[in-house]
Amino acid sequence: MNRSRLRTVLLVSGALFAVAPIMAPATLAPAAVAATLPSFAELVTKTRPAVVTVRVEGRGQADTAMPGLPGADDPAMREFMERFFGKMPNGRPAPSERGPKAVGLGSGFIIDAAGLIVTNNHVIDGAEAITVILQNGDELTGTLVGRDEKTDLAVVSVKAGHDLPTVPWGDSDAIQVGDWAVAIGNPFGFGGTVTAGIVSARGRDIHSGPYDDFIQVDAAINRGNSGGPLFDQDGYVIGVNTAIFSPSGGNVGVGFAIPTNQARAIVGELIKNGSIERGWLGVSIQPVTREIADSLGLAGAKGALVSGVVEDGPAKKAGLKLGDVVLRFGGTEIATLRDLTTAVAQTAPKTETQVVVWRGGKENSVTVHTGTLPVAKTAAAVAPMEETGTDLAGLGLSAQPGNEGLVVTEVDPASDAASKGMLPGDVIVSINQEPVLSVEALSDALDSARANDRKSVLLLVARGGDQRFVTIELSDA
């Protein structure tokens, strides 16, 4: 019989397993194959004693749920992007608060011999009792030190009566795609489980919050790994395992970890204050597309377009305006929206910061004194993005009383405007950052844009109390 076709079927604990021999490639001797793969035995021996199981009891849900990521409003994202604990997926109701207490299991790691432990916020969220189980089986009562929902981090403390083993923080900025990564945690209740893989990508935004900057790994991460450490090959913590992408609820080789250079600062603040105080700018922003950049005369699709300014907020007081494009915040170049939200959040409240914006075809500098991020807000809110249109043809327009813009009275269903989402009742407030007071003024603005070889114009459109910018490509005229 051909050895490559050999299959042995075993019955173990009522389960069938198909076992096939693993053959080394004919071109490589077994010793040569082994020499190309590292052993993580020394790393595991050194680090595993500091990795713990976190057991929580509360009226929340048990560890059988694999819910969607917070903030993932898209149904497909809710279906596939699954956290280990939290709200139930696909809109199913959570267990009754009057029902029996549920037990959840997660992971954590000790960073201080006195008993400080890092885990995920969603592991301890809603917990009425926290128990930390050490690798030697000792069970200790956990006390919540602090938590941060926006970055999904939490710190728990225990009192062991003696020094506990710890693991060191590493430098997540030093890792490269293709480097080895080792995860240790408590998947499905199997404490101290070790898996290995490589760093698949860096800087992943999985739409779980405004500060997403995840490390992606292909090491096996499953339910219960939440809050556990991700190590580099030298045994330094480079991430906190937090989420998976999974159509089935189990590992498919796409896991995400919070990088330690983000986590370490948050954890330090939680230990010190129990919560996070973030800077606040008081604006809504949206991406700068190529069409928007062209309409504003900006070289390249970069920066963050201000689509809303909060009354009495720091930005309003500093003179930031609708239509400004933020290019620099302090010493940070703003290429994407995340650059701005992160930079603002990391700035202490009341800090004086120079902000460079694109306005009127040139760079302008304003001085902002950051505020304190209010509860349930983000440092710089991301506005919904509207599809770009190709022509103003097909729109019926009329001037609003009080010179507050042009009302869209009708939309030709066959027009590009309709296909791009324009609706009757929309109000065109401005074009290329100039107020629109009449249909004639709109026509003049379009002619001016064509005369200046602009390929598109920028409209500020109001609907239902919200405002957003929409680019319209100009047709030949």
CA–CA gap between residue 277 and residue 379 (Å, rounded): 11
Known active-site residue 122: yes
Residues 140-166 have a mean pLDDT of: 95
451-476 in b/e form (b: 16+ CB < 10 A) is eeebebbbbbbbeeeebbbbbbbbee
Architecture per CATH, 395-473: Roll (2.30)
CA–CA gap between residue 146 and residue 464 (Å, rounded): 38
The pLDDT, as a whole number, for residue 150 is 87
| Range(s) within the chain of domains with CATH label 2.40.10.120 | 40-276
Residues 112-119 have a mean pLDDT of: 97
Q: What number does CATH give the domain 40-276?
A: 2.40.10.120
Residues 217-224 have a mean pLDDT of: 90
Least Cα distance to 102 among 66, 65, 54, 56 occurs for 56
Lowest mean pLDDT among 36-45, 239-248, 378-387: 378-387
pLDDT confidence of 62, banded at 50, 70, 90?
very low
The pLDDT, as a whole number, for residue 279 is 85
In tens, the pLDDT along 160-207 reads 999 999 999 999 999 999 999 999 999 988 889 999 999 999 988 877
- For domain 279-382, the CATH superfamily is PDZ domain (2.30.42.10)
pLDDT confidence of 148, banded at 50, 70, 90?
very high
Known active-site residue 226: yes
In tens, the pLDDT along 425-448 reads 788 888 877 777 776 777 777 777
Q: Which of 63, 107, 122, 232 is catalytic?
A: 122
| Range(s) within the chain of domains with CATH label 2.30.42.10 | 279-382, 395-473
The pLDDT, as a whole number, for residue 58 is 81
Q: Which of 226, 246, 295, 415 is catalytic?
A: 226
Percent pLDDT > 90 in the chain is 39
CA–CA gap between residue 115 and residue 370 (Å, rounded): 35
Whether pLDDT at 138 is above 80: yes
Residues 6+ apart with CB under 8 A from 408: 395, 396, 397, 422, 423, 424, 425, 426, 427, 428
- The whole-chain average pLDDT of the chain stands at 78
Percent pLDDT > 70 in the chain is 72
The pLDDT, as a whole number, for residue 84 is 36
Known active-site residue 162: no
Q: Which of 63, 125, 148, 152 is catalytic?
A: 152
